[in-house]
Amino acid sequence: MNLTLHVWRQAGQDDSGRFETYRAEDISESMSFLDMLDLVNENLVSEGKEPIAFDHDCREGICGSCGMMINGVPHGPKTMTTACQVHMRSFQDGDELWIEPWRASAFPVLRDLVVDRSAFDRIVESGGYISVRTNSPPDANTIPVPKRDADKAMDAAVCIGCGACVAACPNASAMLFTASKVAHLSLMPQGQPERYERVLSMVATHDDEGFGNCTNHGACQVACPKGISVDTIAQLNRDHLRATLVHRSQEDEEG
């Protein structure tokens, strides 16, 4: 299989960036997309050229590192799949592929296809910790959790923080990510003491980082490689409204 790649190259945040065209030849359809990029990079290095920079780690769809746009679609043509899980049999001989980084002001490009996603870390950090004892944890069965709540919490907890939701959203909103991090704690007994303080802090950090607002396009749910539902955003909005009302009530009492 022979392909033409149009790859975004950018030396850093201060560089304007541009697309450069490369040939990917003799590509096996059994290769993963990242394996194909590795082969292209080997050829570039052998020619004395700068290899294409891209994030990767586990290459098993677990870590969320390999975020990139492939022909305008986060992670490429397959649904519920990360870029490292896309195989070259998804493409045809002679195809032209446009490969670029996530596009969001909150994700500045560090180099080529690598973006700075530390804004996600700051959102999680602002959520703080849960104030349960850690020395002698009780037996799991001593705290009954309804199966419906446990299932919904686990559905939210599968978020790998890849950023596809942001890249897909026309507003560059990270509400699906933030909601998933809020929901998997707010649905469990251990997350209740700081539940409303947590949602206020995390949403405030989300906004401060420059992410856009959610306007219910639903593109985030389609792009999410773990299939997280926009229902988690509805849960976040309910918690945030309740937390805001409680906070205002407390201020009125103190005033």
CB 163 within 8 A of CB 120: yes
CA dihedral 154, 239, 104, 210 (to 10 degrees): -140
- For residue 117, report the phi and psi dihedrals to the nearest 5 degrees: -105, 20
Sign of the dihedral through C-alpha 101, 104, 107, 111: positive
User: What local confidence, expressed as pLDDT, does residue 135 receive?
Assistant: 64
With CA atoms as reference, report the closest residue to 235 among 153, 164, 158: 153
Task: Supply the pTM of this predicted model.
Answer: 0.91
With CA atoms as reference, report the closest residue to 176 among 165, 160, 187: 165
* Unique residue bearing structure tokens 């990767």: 56
For residue 187, give both structure tokens.
Answer: 């649905």
Tell me the domain boundaries of the chain.
Answer: 3-111, 117-254
User: What local confidence, expressed as pLDDT, does residue 219 receive?
Assistant: 97
With CA atoms as reference, report the closest residue to 182 among 204, 164, 165: 204
User: What local confidence, expressed as pLDDT, does residue 58 receive?
Assistant: 96
3-111 carries CATH number 3.10.20.30: yes
Query: Tens of pLDDT along the chain (255 residues)?
Result: 999 999 999 999 999 999 999 999 999 999 999 999 999 999 999 999 999 999 999 999 999 999 999 999 999 999 999 999 999 999 999 999 999 999 999 999 999 999 999 999 999 999 988 776 666 666 666 778 889 999 999 999 999 999 999 999 999 999 999 999 999 989 888 888 899 999 999 999 999 999 999 999 999 999 999 999 999 999 999 999 999 997 766 655 565
CATH of 117-254, one of 3.30.70.3000, 1.10.490.10, 1.10.1060.10, 3.40.50.300: 1.10.1060.10
Chain-centre distance for alpha carbon 72: 16
* Unique residue bearing structure tokens 């804004």: 119
User: What local confidence, expressed as pLDDT, does residue 136 receive?
Assistant: 66
User: What local confidence, expressed as pLDDT, does residue 131 receive?
Assistant: 77
Buried b (16+ CB within 10 A) or exposed e, 66-85: bbbbbeebbbbebeebbbbb
